Chains A and B, each alone.
Chain A
Amino acid sequence: MSDPTVSLLTTPLHALHLERGARMVPFAGYDMPVQYPMGVLAEHLHTRASAGLFDVSHMGQARLVGPQRIAALEALVPGDLEILKEGRQRYTVLTNDQGGILDDLMVTKRADDLFLVVNAACKDADLDHIEAHLAGFDARLERLPDTALLALQGPLAVSVLAGLDARAAEMGFMSGRWLSLCGVDCFVTRSGYTGEDGFEISVPAEAALDLAQTLIANEAVALIGLGARDSLRLEAGLCLYGSDIDTTTTPVEAGLSWIIGKRRRAEGGFPGASAIQQDLAQGPKRCRVGLRPEGKAPVRAHSAILGPQGEVVGEVTSGGFSPSLSAPIAMGMVPAELAAPGTAVSLVVRGKALPAHVVEMPFVAHRYHKA
């Protein structure tokens, strides 16, 4: 239960959530909508079929400026930002000295800065961490606390947004540009965390409510809460920081080797590079895998994963019910020798070992815009 003595932060859309009958929950220090009257299942399916609008204003936004901004951030992440073209976006991670992950984040190269979006729960720590490591670089971090973030996700997202600014339709996946939405300049990226085509819209806080109301006035668009956001990202096989990845998992173990640039693999130069290079060279000892329980019982995070001899070999890191598949799905960490798709394992739910097997991810095919 929430502690009533701790006052929660609110986003610029808070009044809209209440007006729309959202059930609010404390999340990362914010009072956030977990679902609206439509319910998580319908919200999830609406996003897959049409377009969902998510308030993700609790996430952290910042810009890194200065002539050495790229070198400064490359000193903290394994992504190759040097080769990133202007207007292109990257998913990357902040690593620690052991090669573990401090957080995942999105980086977009803009004309005169790097635009960063970090997770809500870690935002202060992340931005403090980056700032603390700028000494020695001609670079400076500017936090953007007066900026809201809206995610418009789903197959109809592009037509909805193009109705406000036709240039939205010209954008490629993982690109960003300024669009004029409801008369306001917004920085928009064609990305998101649902596996669908969609956009994340960085909008000045004072214009966020007007933009949200304009978007939901379109009959294709429904407000979607954090409940469906989580089931959508799980179906898409995407990592939730703090559950699937954390300070004890390397990007290689997490199945995120693809985010480590070729040059960076060779040169290193980021925290924990030697541990990560070792994982890359020898293969990780354990791997994040997709799991399909054979029965209908949902399997939640922290359920034990049992190997062929019934011994505990790992733990479910995320799990739940897939509305698209009408079946339980999960992710977990297992020893590398049990990571091949088809491997039979058991998952412990309420003291019972339920049969499951390792599967390829995503559970539901991505439908990102291919330009």
Chain B
Amino acid sequence: MSKLYFTEDHEWVSVDDDGIGTIGITDYAQKQLGDVVFVELPEIGREIERGGDAAVVESVKAASEVYSPVSGEVVEANDSLPEAPGQVNTDALGDGWFFKVRLSEPAELDELMDQEAYDAFVGELD
């Protein structure tokens, strides 16, 4: 499994050898949200910037923005998610991924947390 990077907004990105990043929200985030009932995904081809609004996830209670952890072009969206948004709850780091980006600034990854740092960050929140 490729290395996971995390943001303080509880997104994750895993980058493959071709420089494509897969982005989702963390297990901590889905637990905080509760039952996910709707997602809005970015259009293919859209250029997004690190930290910019990229997607929306709505639980029964409220809507939340999903910010892209990296800059680049959206190359794929998880088409199964709008039909089965509960995948975000059941498999946040797997089937519940949101979209894929071709990284334009791979160096941005250095600014993100690794698993250990993220776990420590989340530990501070509880």
Contact = CB atoms under 8 A, between A and B. Distances in A.
A40 B34 contact: yes
A370 interface: no
Interface string B40-58: 1000000000000000101
B60 A227 contact: yes
Contacts of A39: 34-35
Interface string B13-53: 00000000000000000000011011010000000000000
A296 B38 contact: yes
Contacts of B122: none
Contacts of A296: 38, 82
Contact of B58 (A34, A40, A321): A321
Interface of A: 23, 34-35, 39-42, 44, 227, 231, 296-298, 300, 320-321, 323, 328, 350
B62 A40 contact: no
Contacts of B60: 40-41, 44, 227, 231, 320-321, 323
Nearest to A297: B38
B63 A298 contact: yes
A300 B62 contact: yes
A99 B62 CA distance: 32
B3 interface: no
A328 B59 CA distance: 12
A35 B34 contact: yes
Interface in B64-123: 82
Interface of B: 34-35, 37-38, 40, 56, 58-63, 82
27 contacts: A35-B34, A39-B34, A39-B35, A40-B34, A40-B35, A40-B60, A40-B61, A41-B37, A42-B35, A44-B60, A227-B61, A296-B38, A296-B82, A297-B38, A297-B40, A298-B37, A298-B38, A298-B63, A300-B63, A320-B61, A321-B37, A321-B38, A321-B58, A321-B60, A323-B60, A350-B40, A350-B63
Contacts of A42: 35
Nearest to B65: A350
Contacts of B82: 296
A143 B58 CA distance: 40
B55 to A, nearest CB: 11
Contacts of A323: 60
Contacts of B37: 41, 298, 321
B31 to A, nearest CB: 9
Contacts of B61: 34, 40, 227, 320
Nearest to A38: B35
A39 B58 CA distance: 14
Contacts of B40: 297, 350
A236 to B, nearest CB: 16
A297 B82 CA distance: 10
